[in-house]
Structures are given as C-alpha cells and as structure tokens.
Amino acid sequence: MNLRKEIEAGVAQANFVLRSDVLCLLKKAYSAEKNSKAKKALGWILDNAAIAKEEKIAICQDTGLPVIFIDVGKDVEISSSIVKDIEDAVACGYMNNYLRPSIVDPLRRGKSSYHGAISHVHFLANIKGMKITIFPKGFGSENKSRLKMFNPTAKVEEIEDFIINSVKEAGPASCPPFVIGVGVGGTSDCALLLAKRALLGKIDKPNKDKFSNDLEMRLLKKINALGIGPMGFGGRCTALAVKVKTASTHIAGLPVGVNISCHALRSASIDIKNV
C-alpha cells in the first residue's frame, strides 16, 4: 500500500464526503423539523453535502486546521520519521485537492500555508495495526472550546450546566446543529483531547458506558431545549449528538473539556494492517 496516496485520498474523503453517521442524523433532524426556517436551513445543509460529494468541492470553505490522530497498535514498530511523512502527505492532499491554506504563525500572522497540522501519536495496547485519522477542525466552532477545572465534590448537574452554557455561548455563529464532544477527567490537556476524540466515534450509536450514555441523553435533551436551532433559526435541533469520554483523574480535581463541532463534522480514517 502507498501510504502517501492513501492519506491524500483520506484528506479528500474527509473534506468532500460528509460522514454517514452525521448525514443520517441530519436527515432525521430534517424530517422531524416543524419550524419552516429551520427546516429550510437543514435542507440547505443536506443539498450542500450532496453538491460537495458530487462535484468534489469542500463541504465548507473552512477546511480546518487538520488534526491527525495516529494510533499505533501493539504489533507495530514504526520510525519517528513517519509522523513527518504523514503530515507532509496531509499538506499535499490539501494542496492537490484545492482546499484552503488556513495555517499561519500565531503572532506574526502573514501568508497562510498548508503546513502545520496538529498530530497526536498514541501507542495503544488494545489495537492491532495502525489507524490514521484526519480530522479537519473548523475554527468557527473550535473558537468556542471550553475548559473548567471543577472541585472534586461538584455535582453532575453543575457539570451539565457548564456544558449547556458552553453551547449557549457558541450560539448561531458556530454553525448549529452542533455535535458536542465532552471530555471528563485526566489533566486539563487530557480533558480537552478526550473531548476532541469524542467527536471521532460514531455519533449515531449509543455510548457503551451506561453512566456516560445517560449523561449524553440528558444533555442532548437540555441542549435542544435551548431552541438555537439550525443557523440560529430556532426549532428542535440545536445539537445532533453529545458524546462523552472519560479518564481517571486526581482526587483533588475534576477537569471538564468541551469541544464543539459544527454540523459539518468531517473526518476520515485509514486502517493499516501490515506496516
């Protein structure tokens, strides 16, 4: 297998073809919507996905800051240079598919480029082979990320209020209906990374952990009661799904990270069996 070609194809897949789980929930939301303006907005979103796929135009002009998750299984030996190779292939994929160079020096700003993806390499004992996920993260929603370090004695309701308020603050500008990623536990950086990872699982499937699943369902109901709706037009659907991931934490703390995705939640994975 030609890794470079596979990655370039993954970049195209992520940016041109909306994930099937996201599309499925958008279609459900469209059918259930009674508010005519909100229904129209959902119709635009579905038409947009069809045009993007058909014509190979990016779903959104904000083709994001590419976040790359490189999960390495127990049977794999890799050289550290593979990270740079993967990042280079992603940059090439962006350029060759006419996507937007949206990456700049944070203080000097200046001319934007395709180079500077964010990579996370994780060695995991519970998988075999290697999985590379390309996650173009748009900044209309990334700008609304939140972190709060709760007291360990905080009630679950306080955490729920914090998450709901984060969605409220995101408001119409961050392209609702959203998908809400929540990370609970670990350290501050870990909570935010978990929140981002939460967006990568199938959003139309229930969480296997019952406690987290109940929390997701309660949050989804409360968030949809906010009535922000598609493009901020009101209606039933402010979020398509809420996804929670947890990790062990310190006895003195309870970090909670919120990472919001716009309705154009895009990602593509490449599974490599033999490295």
Partner 1 sequence: MKKITTPLNKNIIKSLKAGDEVLLSGIIYTARDQAHKKIVELIKNNKKMPFDLNGQVIYYCGPTATPKGKVIGSCGPTTANRMDGFVEPLLKTGVIAMIGKGGRARFVKDIIRKYKAIYFIAPSGCGALLAKKVLSKKLVGFKYLGPEAIYELQVKDFPLVVAIDSKGNDIYGKKGQGARVRGQERKEKR
Residues found near partner 1 in the complex (CB under 8 A): 37, 40-41, 44-45, 47-49, 51-52, 55-63, 95, 97-102, 109, 111-112, 138, 140, 143, 167-169, 171-175, 225-229, 231-234, 238, 262-264
Decide whether 133 or 238 has the Cβ nearer to partner 1: 238
Q: Which is nearer to partner 1, 113 or 119 (CB)?
A: 113
Residue 238 near residue 178 (C-beta atoms within 8 A): yes
CB of 48 to partner 1, least distance (A): 4
Closest contact distance (angstroms) between CB of 102 and partner 1 is: 7
Q: How far is the CB of 5 from partner 1 (least distance, A)?
A: 19
Closer residue to partner 1 (CB): 86 or 99: 99
Q: And the tokens for 224?
A: 């949809």
User: CA 15 from chain center: how many Å?
Assistant: 13
**Residue 34 vs 208, nearer CB to partner 1:** 34
Nearer to partner 1, 112 or 213 (CB): 112
> In the sheet that 130-137 helps form, which strands lie side by side, from edge to edge?
118-123, 65-72, 130-137, 268-272
Q: How far is the CB of 107 from partner 1 (least distance, A)?
A: 14
Residue type, 174: S
Read off the amino acid at residue 165. Answer: N
Cβ at position 186, least distance to partner 1 in Å: 29
Beta strands, E only, the chain: 65-72, 103-105, 109-113, 118-123, 130-137, 146-150, 178-186, 239-249, 254-261, 268-272
Distance from C-alpha of 132 to C-alpha of 135, rounded to nearest angstrom: 10
